[in-house]
């Protein structure tokens, strides 16, 4: 578990995807592996959790020896054209391709996913941990290979789509990590990701991580006197009693606690790296 070469981390917006991505990357790097943490259309969260000022298309060293980088759409499109067409009318080809990719969302998805798979299969990294789009949007990324394969009967884009589908389906190479906080919506979106993955026959290597779980506070009822400690106790017990039935139904493989009082993203990711079950 959590030991494949390509880890795709998704989950509903706001559940801590970037924190978990950075934690997994750090934990893999602590095993001495060469790790790339890669932001794929995921917003600016990953950089902060890696303790970096920003991420760019070129990998740079971040906390704990992890390299961090971002899939930048225009750069990825140009790189794709360069790899497929070679140097000749490169500027024109790039321009045409950018416009096509803009008009055909599936093509853009293929190219961005292609960059991720390229990094994961090139042999440079032992682990590529991807901060992927949130659960609501990852559908289009995961479906893109099949959609393009059926739309385009032959040609380079078709072949590329088929290759990406094979990698996404390979349970020895690829793992889908879904993060959810213990609430109804986040868990139901995690279920949606699993349903999409089933539908597409994607890798059976999947991990559900429950994040921000409230731990047992060491008491089961509020204190007799009704001061602030009573209000805090009722809040903790109330929230925990909402979480518990959802957690036992979801059967997440990993539970990560809510880390009280930690505010810096880099600190949070470092603390979570101690807790994720990466050998």
Partner 1 sequence: MTKVIFVTGAGGVGKTTIAGAVASGAAVVGTSTLVVTVDPARRLAQALGLSVLTNEPSPVPGLPALEAAMLDATASWEALVRRHTDGDTAERLVANRFFRAIADRFPAGQAYAAAEETAHLAESGQYEFIVVDTPPVGGAADFFEAPSRIRSLVAGRALRVLTGPAIPGRRVLYSLTARPVLRLADRLLGGPLLEDIGEFLIDLRTTYDGIRARTGDVEALFGAAHTVVATTADPGPMAQARRLLSHGPGTAKTVLVNRTVPAEWASLGDAGGDPYARNLARWGGEARRQQQVLASLADTAFSPWAIPLVTPAPTSIPELASLVPAPALDQILS
Q: For the CB of residue 262, give the shortest distance to partner 1 in the complex, in Å.
A: 7
Residue pair 178/24 in contact (Cβ under 8 Å)? The answer is: no
Q: For the CB of residue 7, give the shortest distance to partner 1 in the complex, in Å.
A: 20
Give dist(CA 60, CA 148) in Å, integer.
Answer: 32
Q: Looking at beta carbons only, is 128 or 157 nearer to partner 1?
A: 157
Burial class of residue 110 (count of CB atoms within 10 Å of its CB; 0-12, 13-18, 19+):
buried
Give dist(CA 3, CA 12) in Å, integer.
Answer: 23
Q: Looking at beta carbons only, is 157 or 193 nearer to partner 1?
A: 157
Euclidean distance between the first and the last CA atom of the chain, given in angstroms as a whole number: 9
Q: Looking at beta carbons only, is 43 or 201 nearer to partner 1?
A: 43
Residues that bind partner 1 (CB under 8 A): 12-15, 18, 41, 43-45, 48, 81, 84-85, 89, 92-93, 95-97, 99-100, 102-107, 134, 136-137, 139-140, 143, 147, 151-158, 181, 184-186, 217-219, 223, 228-236, 238-239, 242, 260-263, 265
Residue pair 222/178 in contact (Cβ under 8 Å)? The answer is: no
**In the 8-state DSSP scheme, what is residue 51?**
T
Q: For the CB of residue 271, give the shortest distance to partner 1 in the complex, in Å.
A: 13
Q: For the CB of residue 183, give the shortest distance to partner 1 in the complex, in Å.
A: 9
Q: Looking at beta carbons only, is 44 or 277 nearer to partner 1?
A: 44
Q: Looking at beta carbons only, is 1 or 237 nearer to partner 1?
A: 237
Q: For the CB of residue 110, give the shortest distance to partner 1 in the complex, in Å.
A: 11
Residues 6+ apart with CB under 8 A from 111: 73, 76, 77, 80, 101
């Amino acid at each position: 578990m959590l030991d494949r070469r390509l880890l795709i981390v998704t989950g509903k917006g706001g559940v801590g995807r970037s924190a978990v991505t950075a934690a997994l990357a750090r934990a893999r790097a602590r095993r001495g592996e060469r790790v790339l943490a890669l932001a794929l259309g995921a917003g600016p969260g990953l950089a902060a959790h890696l303790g970096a000022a920003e991420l760019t298309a070129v990998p740079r060293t971040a906390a704990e020896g992890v390299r961090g980088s971002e899939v930048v759409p225009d750069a990825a499109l140009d790189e794709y054209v360069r790899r497929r067409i070679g140097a000749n009318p490169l500027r024109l080809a790039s321009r045409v391709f950018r416009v096509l990719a803009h008009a055909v969302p599936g093509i853009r998805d293929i190219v961005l996913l292609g960059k991720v798979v390229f990094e994961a299969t090139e042999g440079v990294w032992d682990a590529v941990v991807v901060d992927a789009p949130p659960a609501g949007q990852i559908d289009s990324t995961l479906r893109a290979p099949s959609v393009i394969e059926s739309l385009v009967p032959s040609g380079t884009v078709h072949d590329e789509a088929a290759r990406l589908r094979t990698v996404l389906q390979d349970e020895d190479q690829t793992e889908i990590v879904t993060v959810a906080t213990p609430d109804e919506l986040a868990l139901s979106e995690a279920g949606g990701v699993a349903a999409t993955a089933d539908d597409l026959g994607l890798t059976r290597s999947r991990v559900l991580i429950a994040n921000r779980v409230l731990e047992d506070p060491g008491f089961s009822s509020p204190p007799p006197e009704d001061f602030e400690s009573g209000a805090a106790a009722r809040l903790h017990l109330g929230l925990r009693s909402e979480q518990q039935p959802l957690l036992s139904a979801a059967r997440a493989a990993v539970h990560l606690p809510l880390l009280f009082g930690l505010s810096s993203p880099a600190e949070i990711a470092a603390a979570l790296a101690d807790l994720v079950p990466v050998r």
